[in-house]
A and B are shown apart, each in its own frame.
Chain A
Amino acid sequence: MNSRLTLIIVVLLVLAPAVWVISSADVETPAVAEAAAEVVAGDTAAVQTPPAEEGPSSLFPPLTLKSLEKAAEPRTPSIHPPVILMDEDMEPVIRSGRPLSLAATCGGCHNVDYIARNNYHSQVGLNELTPPGQAKSGRAWDVSPGMFGRWNPLTYRTLSPEGFDEIDMGTADWIMVMGPRHVGGGPAVTSRFTGRPLTETRADDPKNPDAFVLDPITRKPAAWNWQESGVMELNCLLCHVKDPNNAQRVAEIKKGRFGWASSATLLGSGVAERDGGEIKWSAKAFAEDGSVRPEYFRVSDPRSGNCRICHGSACRCSDPVIFENSLDNWGTETTGEIFSPDPVDRSGMNLKGKESLHLPWDVHAQRLLQCSNCHHSMNNPEYNEETGDERPGHLRFDARKLGFGEYLETPDHNLAKGHSAQGTVARAMDGSMRDCRDCHDAEARHDFLPYKKLHFQKLSCQTCHVQRVLAPARMSTDWTLLDSAGEPLVTHRGVRGRVNDPASIIDGYTPVLLMHEEDDGEYRLGPHNVITSWFWVEGDPERPVREADLKAAFLEKDGTYRPEYVRALDENGDGKLEENELRLGSAAKVEAIKKLLESAGVKAPRIKGEIQPYTLSHGVASGDYALHCCQCCHGKNSRAIQDVKLSDYAPGAAEPGPVTDARILLHGKIETGKDGKVYCTPTLDPGNLYLHGTQRVQWLDWIGILAVIGSFLGVAAHGTLRFASSRIKKAE
């Protein structure tokens, strides 16, 4: 009787745990890891696109098939009427031979003044200038939130203010340094002080940065002749013709021939040719009336290939695809994002586990979207639509939109933008773009996800859809020392070995999740790269030590290290600087370098560290490659609280602090670890977040645990006593 009963009890007690164990299949394997398991054995041959036709071999008689000769692809005629290229005096350039003026050329039909004013790509902060010390970035030397006036540790040089103490970057310097990534117009045409054209600058004030540039040899101001250089006008061609010649444009800018920058954009298209140093217009490309023949000049809406000129890595490139990290490839250098439709597994990059990465670099690029589909002109009638907040409740559609004709005359060139940490210019436009949720109904998918709405409320879409960045991105920039090339010390994340070295394995990186303010005012966790920078500052109010001063202190005129510099850093005394010696790891080295700087005229230099977050929004993966693993966030290994390496070392043990204009809650401690590397340990405290499995209230937990342990001990003691007493009774 009793044994049967015991059996029933055992069955009942086992039932629940058995159900538990039976269903213990792990369903959380991330898709990428799963795919990594199926490596194709012996199948590593890269796919080559064959030549469409093999060239005839000299040895063998050639084929004589006419059907092999494919008809030349007919050029789609441009919808744009023929254009008469004109100089600033409205003379056709083919007659005058002078530089092209796009204000004159395009201004006949389009309101170029309106376009220049409503254009943060051109203004880059000129219309948002603030007095020094009041910029939102928190830097004492910043005067705007844009590229013109907001210092960037990657490009380093500082725009000199009015009444500068020592000149670092005059306005003409700025064009030469930043112009390669600036479309022209704005501060490249107009004086920030007078609002008049820079060509009217007078050199009578020795402290006017419009009138002077830095002489890198003497480190003293040198007068600039605007009449000779011209100004760099807003370059419509850079965005509106296919394959503009940016290399030649940059060459003109670097030479200080700003007036010719627009014209140089047409080199190589047949419209203009270089003749010695000069740019000449080619007669064959022009019709009688001075207009360009349509086959030479095709105006279109901006394609992704145009945007990539400045923003980097957005193209359907040749096969195999290789993207390089450099400041010319700005977007990829700062974030590792690549906006390309090509499949990752067929790229030419040395990616870890490449053969299983069957995803495009960016799914939107692969699915035919151009940059301008999301970053559209604000008054483009194709996109412009009153949102629910603005539209009266009874109207489903408001027909009173700008017509296409009016739009073409006054197109708003403030392109719709997102709300990234790094997009500090034109913050008023933040969130104006068509973002994920404007096109996608997230709730129509994601059926696998418990608590969809809660997740969508607390996470940006990119958290899961940019779960891993496949290309390297910059991690730190150290301007406290210069290397033998006169460059700062730079490190990258996501690559084992040197960046851009074909032998280095690129393993990508997992972005750090930071609380980021989005345009609806909500803070959401979103993926970021953080770039930490160290640099010397001097003076009061402080400003970065000039690059020219660093070079003068550290390098000889021929660019080699000065002996004092080597002595200050050389630990093993071999007279050479190895990589591990080239860092300010000890107080003695800091002091020695400080002395060197002081000897070059720098007053009381000190090291400052700064963290700039970069929001990741491109390089989006489709659902198949998005984050599906719950425990990536829920659990003790949650990526929301993982230590983030900021830098391999902290020069002079300086502690970096975040910039203050990133709309980011950089929550967590920044510490130098025992390994000497600098880490940020995020906490989730500031946000109203509770990550199950990750967060707990320690003391409350302990009370509970003690209650359970206490119960167990009490029960065990009582049971033992009962057992003992029954034995005693039995014995009696």
Chain B
Amino acid sequence: MEKKVWFYSFYERIWHWVQAIAVLVLIMSGFEISYAGNFSVTGFKVAVTLHNLAGVILVVNAFLALFYNLAGGLLKRYVPGLEDFFTLGIRHATYYIWGIFVGAPHPFDKTPEKRLLPLQKITYFMILNVLLPLMIVTGALKLSAEVNPAWVEYFGGLKLLGPIHRFGAWMFAAFLIVHVYMITTGHTIFSNLKAMVLGYEEVHLDDGKEG
């Protein structure tokens, strides 16, 4: 007997994949801009246009999500508690370091209400509060040169903003690699991905786990 357990609403899935595409486009076009002359996929000018476009989409989408979560009162699920850093976090980490290899059961039940695991919470908290704002601010300032280059000068000029933005991009790329890998650590290799595509997971209900 299998049951569909809904994790992600339709909007959440659309949001996720829009954001995913935006980030991919940003990283690839950003790479092309940064290493212009070494290789060319779209050409420099198209890469710049794509990068600006994807950036705008990402920011707008991010604020839409903020509004969605604020309005739905869902924001707290992203805020790690103290226990996420210690007991739960350690238990979570131990699972990855040991349990997963010996076939230990997953230490946390992923439920629609508690869908973010402790380490996930911590990582997202850092990304949403440090990395993403850093990228948005430096990116938006750079984009503002289209309107008035003086603003850029006021905040240290491209000579400061450029390297910071670029460093953030590396961090994002590193996150992306780990993120993609972590998808495969669900119940089955594809169960997390499936959930983000279809919105639900099929859970075996043969042991009367559900009440």
Chains A, B in direct contact (C-beta < 8 Å): yes
Chain A residues in contact with chain B, CB under 8 A? 2, 5-6, 8-9, 12, 15-17, 19-21, 23-28, 448, 450-454, 457, 630-631, 634-638, 688-690, 692-697, 700-701, 703-705, 707-708, 710-712, 714-715, 718-719, 721-722, 725-726, 729
> Which residues of the other chain, B, contact A457 by a CB distance below 8 angstroms?
149
For B94, the chain A residues whose CB sits under 8 A away are: none
A453 touches B44 (CB 8 A): no
B173: chain A residues within 8 A (beta carbon): 704, 708
**Chain B residue contacts of A725, Cβ below 8 A:** 100-103
Q: List 26 A-B contacts (CB under 8 A).
A: A2-B190, A8-B197, A17-B24, A19-B25, A28-B45, A453-B145, A453-B149, A630-B44, A630-B45, A631-B36, A631-B44, A634-B36, A635-B36, A638-B37, A692-B162, A693-B33, A693-B35, A695-B162, A700-B166, A703-B167, A704-B166, A710-B174, A715-B177, A721-B101, A722-B101, A726-B103
In Å, the complex CA distance between A206 and B21 comes to: 86
**Pair B149/A454 contact, Cβ less than 8 Å:** yes
1/0 per residue, CB under 8 A from A, across B20-48: the answer is: 11001100100001111110111111101
Q: In the complex, identify which listed stretch (B59-67, B78-86, B150-158) lies at the interface while the others stay far away.
A: B150-158
Question: Which residues of B are found within 8 Å of A454, using beta-carbon distances?
Answer: 145-146, 149, 152
- Judged by a CB distance under 8 angstroms, whether B181 is at the interface is yes
**Is there an interface contact between B36 and A23, defined as CB atoms closer than 8 Å?**
no
Knowing that A453-B146, A454-B145 touch, tell me 11 more A-B residue pairs with CB under 8 angstroms. Answer: A16-B25, A26-B43, A450-B48, A630-B36, A634-B37, A690-B161, A692-B36, A692-B158, A696-B34, A711-B175, A718-B96
A712 to chain B, nearest CB (A): 5
Of the residues B44, B153, B161, B162, contact of A28 by C-beta under 8 Å:
B44
> Among the listed B38, B49, B190, B197, which residue makes an inter-chain contact with A12, where contact means beta carbons less than 8 Å apart?
B197
B162: chain A residues at CB < 8 Å are 690, 692, 695
A711 and B178 form a contact (CB under 8 A): yes
Closest 5 pairs (CB-CB, A-B)? A704-B170, A635-B37, A635-B36, A693-B36, A690-B158
- Give the chain A neighbours of B153 by CB distance below 8 A: 688
Is B75 on the interface with A (CB-CB < 8 A)?
A: no
Residues of chain A within 8 A of B181, CB atoms compared = 715, 718-719
Say whether B186 faces chain A, with CB atoms less than 8 Å apart.
Answer: no
Residues in B whose Cβ lies below 8 Å from that of A25: 43, 46
| B45 in contact with A450 (CB, 8 Å) | yes
CB-CB under 8 A for A451 and B145, given A631-B36, A722-B100: yes
Chief secondary structure at chain B's binding surface: helix
Most buried by A among B50, B96, B181: B181
CA of A689 to CA of B28, assembled, Å: 24
**CB < 8 Å: which of B20, B34, B161 contacts A693?**
B34
**Cα–Cα distance between A23 and B42 once the two chains are bound (Å):** 6
Whole-angstrom distance between the Cβ of B201 and the nearest chain A Cβ: 12
Report the Cα distance A509→B178, complex, angstroms: 50
Q: Are B190's CB and A696's CB within 8 A?
A: no
Question: Contact between B43 and A20 (Cβ–Cβ < 8 Å)?
Answer: no
Cβ contacts B64-75/A at 8 Å (1 or 0 each): 000000000000
Residues of B within 8 A of A452 (CB): 146
- Given A688-B153, A688-B157, A693-B35, answer yes or no on A27-B190 (Cβ-Cβ < 8 Å): no
Chain A nearest Cβ from B24, distance in angstroms: 4
With A26-B40, A635-B36: A696-B147 Cβ-Cβ less than 8 Å: no
Contact A701 B37 (CB under 8 A): no
Closest Cβ of chain B: how far from A19's Cβ, in Å?
A: 8
User: For the complex, what is the distance from the CA of A712 to the CA of B101, rounded to whole Å?
Assistant: 19
B146 x A451 contact (CB < 8 A): yes
Complex CA distance for A6 and B48, rounded to whole angstroms = 33
Q: Report B180 CB to chain A, min CB distance, Å.
A: 8
A630 to B47, CA, bound (A): 11
Least Cβ distance of B10 to chain A in Å? 15
Q: Which residues of A contact B161 (CB under 8 A)?
A: 690
Determine whether the beta carbon of A707 is less than 8 Å from that of B171.
yes
Report the Cα distance A630→B42, complex, angstroms: 12
Q: Is B87 an interface residue (CB 8 A)?
A: no
Q: Is the CB of A708 within 8 A of B170?
A: yes
Whether a CB of chain A sits under 8 angstroms from the CB of B6 is no
Q: What are the interface flags for B92-116 relative to A under an 8 Å C-beta threshold, 1 for contact and 0 otherwise?
A: 0000100011110000000000000
CB-defined contacts of B41 to chain A, threshold 8 Å? 20-21, 24
In contact, B28 and A634 (Cβ under 8 angstroms): no
Shortest C-beta distance, A74 to chain B (Å), equals 55
Do A5 and B101 touch across chains, with their CB atoms under 8 A apart? no
**Quick check: B163 and A696 within 8 Å, CB to CB?**
yes
Q: Which residues of B contact A696 (CB under 8 A)?
A: 34, 163, 166
Report yes or no: A20 in contact with B28, Cβ–Cβ below 8 A. Answer: yes
A453–B44 alpha-carbon span in the complex (Å): 18
B193 at the interface (CB under 8 A from A): yes
From B40, B145, B166, B177, contact of A711 by CB (8 A): B177
A701 surroundings in chain B (CB, below 8 A): 163, 166-167, 170
Q: Which residue on B lies nearest to A29, using beta carbons? A: B43
Task: Assess the B145–A690 pair: CB atoms within 8 A.
Answer: no
A15 to B17, CA, bound (A): 11
What residues of A have a CB within 8 angstroms of the CB of B177 in the complex? 708, 711-712, 715
B34 touches A692 (CB 8 A): yes
Closest to A634 in B: B36
Per the bound structure, the CA–CA distance linking A700 and B161 in Å amounts to 13
**Docked complex Cα distance between A637 and B39 (Å):** 11
**A5 in complex: contacting residue of B33, B158, B190, CB < 8 Å:** B190
Q: B150 — nearest CB in chain A belongs to which residue?
A: A457
Indicate if the CB atoms of B193 and A690 lie closer than 8 Å. no
Q: In the complex, what residue of chain A is closest to B153 when comparing beta carbons?
A: A688
Decide: B170 and A705 in contact? CB cutoff 8 A: yes
- Contacting residue for B197 out of A5, A450, A451, A631, CB 8 A: A5
Q: Are A690 and B146 in contact (CB under 8 A)?
A: no
Given contacts A450-B146, A637-B37, A688-B153, contact A700 B171 (CB under 8 A): no
Known: A25-B43, A693-B44, A707-B170. A450 touches B159 (CB 8 A): no
A473→B140 CA distance, assembly (Å): 44
Q: Is the CB of B48 within 8 A of A16?
A: no
Contacts of A2 in B (CB 8 A): 190
Q: Which residues of A contact B120 (CB under 8 A)?
A: none
Q: A450-B49, A457-B149, A708-B174 are in contact. Are A700 and B167 (CB under 8 A)?
A: yes
Contact A729 B103 (CB under 8 A): yes
Tell me whether A636 and B101 are in contact (CB under 8 A).
no
**Chain A: minimal CB distance from B12 (Å):** 15
Chain A residues within an 8 Å CB radius of B25? 16, 19-20
Specify which chain B residues have a CB less than 8 angstroms from the CB of A24 in the assembled complex: 40-43, 46
B194 within 8 A of A: yes
Report Cα–Cα, A636/B34, bound state, in Å: 9
> Within the assembled complex, what's the spacing in Å between the Cα atoms of A692 and B101?
45
What chain A residues lie within 8 Å of B9 (beta carbons)? Answer: none
Cβ of A636 and Cβ of B169 under 8 Å apart?
A: no
Give chain A residues whose Cβ lies under 8 Å from the Cβ of B48: 450, 630
CA distance A688 to B159 in the complex (A): 7
Residues of B within 8 A of A718 (CB): 96, 181
Q: Give A450 to B166 CA distance when docked, in angstroms.
A: 19
A27 touches B45 (CB 8 A): yes
The complex places the Cα of A463 from the Cα of B58 at a distance, in Å, of 35
CB of A704 within 8 A of CB of B167, answer yes
* Complex interface: chain A residues within 8 A of B101 (CB): 721-722, 725
Evaluate contact between B96 and A635: CB separation under 8 angstroms: no
Q: How far is the CB of A252 from chain B (nearest CB, A)?
A: 55
Q: B residues within 8 A CB of A6?
A: 190
| A703 to B174 alpha-carbon distance, docked (Å) | 11
- Interface-central residue, B40, B52, B96, B163, by most chain A CB under 10 Å: B163
Chain A's closest residue to B22 (CB) is: A16
Most B CB within 10 A of own CB, among A28, A637, A694: A28
Q: Which residue of A lies closest to B181 (CB)?
A: A715
Most chain-A CB neighbours within 10 Å: which of B153, B171, B174, B193? Answer: B174
Which A residues touch B46, using CB under 8 A?
23-25, 27
How far is it, in angstroms, between the C-alpha of A222 and the C-alpha of B100 when the chains are bound? 103
Cα A620 to Cα B96 in complex, Å, equals: 66
